[in-house]
Structure 1
């Protein structure tokens, strides 16, 4: 996927094919967003155009309101997901005062038409952009006819009578309702982070872990989880501890991932870790040996989950086919 950063990047791109584009933050890249992205990809194929995403490095609410909700997905994570779902070009803009002041008509003309060669603009449910959010399908219809592009609007996606939204997913994740989050995301909830050096305590216990800096993404409640991650394009099972290590009087919140039946160096690599099922809450043990025994039980319980499903890996239970079949699922996007 080609990633363009800032309006200046448009001067150096080749956009002769034109594009089918959508605009938005798409935090979480959930089922509603996925419906929009699938439509963008399908229409781009029909028109022999480039499926294109225009997104923002930060949440517009930081500028508009002075604060924004916690992120389900960092920019790096969103880029990875856009690529996974078929987007070929993403333009990343900083939502600053200049972008805030730009009218929807100017945004369409400057960014989408002159910049990217817009042929069709796809709106998600209740999607708006431009100054005072005046860029709606009905408001832009007159200039679409005049300037020669089409507008399409995708209906909302509802589960149990409620529109799928980033807000609803944040609530589910923070409450630890992984089933609800998975349904709204159409995949297991995941965190993308960089593997950093720890104090090697897991290795000393016989369960080496990849310690993750989670790029400031939202997290579920503390505890131990059956998990999965992606290494060299392959989904592999794992057991994840999210907590402060009370047995060792720890204070920092850590994400420690023990990858089953795998050895290697992951330091400084970005790793996407999927939370599959909560195994237990955070506990303080009398000593390291007691903790070691419990970790062995956690690994056994995680393996039992996959074994009872008739699988050696969690992939077919928790992941839809388009993720299982995507060999680029764990690779960098730019």
Structure 2
């Protein structure tokens, strides 16, 4: 975009097409709000969010190129995924896009596939690595730390009672690492803090199988009201599995150890 003295524009959908077309959508690697935050951090000039509806799903590939890429966006150059298809019934491909590009005055560059070992980097491979706890592998695929973005919601208040206040996150269907305790960095209102994250069912306080999985974040060196705000959590390392402790006192002793480990890891570049 800079070489052509234009603006960088990212086109994305407000929801996964599968959720509209009657299929079960996969969990999001990033929610819409998270994607927008990442695009902003990358320096993208404009992000266009299209509402994916049943009516939009009937748009032909030719109409998509002419009405959206050429007319609405005024594109001069298009960067396209190596396996991307578009338009009604996925009828559009890179060949069609290039033919119309020659006619309508925009260039098309196709991104090559990227391999990591024997795996082709894809949303499916990234999602699989995250849910299986392969954080380093997922990080190499993403080109950034594995992170989630959620809204701080009301929790049970147990963390505060134990002396370790936590923020409960609603992840808006984002995929997350498996149950366990993690060292992380929490980003709140543009500021970053070390954090200990528990993903699990808090078995010390009830029958684990009957409890929902929650994401609780203890932010170190932070004491401000944040309910209703968005928080991004970047995972550094898994510290341990979730355990059922014999007493709240035993849990508190372990939490002190977890916080000490977080401080050590957060200092590393």
* TM-score, length basis structure 2: 0.93
Partner in structure 2 of residue 174 of structure 1: 131
- Within 5 Å, give how 1:91-106 maps onto structure 2: 91-106=48-63
Stretches of structure 1 that go unaligned for 5 or more consecutive residues are 1-43, 317-334
The aligned length equals 266
Q: Measure how far apart 1:172 and its partner are.
A: 0.9
**Would the alpha carbon gap of residues 142 and 125 (structure 1) be closer, same or farther in structure 2, given more than 3 Å must change?**
closer
- Judged with a 3 Å threshold, the aligned counterparts in structure 2 of structure 1 residues 59 and 232 are, in CA distance, closer, same or farther, namely closer
Q: Are 1:70 and 2:27 counterparts?
A: yes
Please, what is the CA RMSD of the aligned residues? 1.6
Partner of 1:303: 263
Q: What displacement does 1:169 show? A: 1.1
The unaligned stretches of length 5 or more in structure 2 are none
SS at match of 2:47: strand
- How do 1:38-49 residues align onto structure 2 when only pairs under 5 Å count? 44-49=1-6
Instruction: Please state how far the C-alpha of 1:65 moved relative to its aligned partner.
Output: 5.4
Q: 1:247 to 1:96 in 2, by over 3 A?
A: same
Q: Deviation at 1:110? A: 0.9
Q: Which residue of 2 aligns with 1:218?
A: 175
1:288 aligns with 2:248: yes
Superposed displacement of residue 94, structure 1:
2.2
| Structure 2 contact 57–88 (Cα < 8 Å) conserved | yes
The CA deviation at 1:262 is 1.8
**1:136-155 maps to which residues of 2 (within 5 A)?**
136-155=93-112
The alignment status of 1:238 with 2:195, answered yes or no, reads yes
2:159 & 2:25 partners in 1: Cα distance? 36
Match of residue 233 from structure 2? 273
2:144 to 187, 197, 201: 187
Mapped to 2, the partners of 1:98 and 1:278 lie a distance apart of 44
For residues 178 and 75 of structure 1, the distance between their equivalents in structure 2, rounded to whole angstroms, comes to: 22
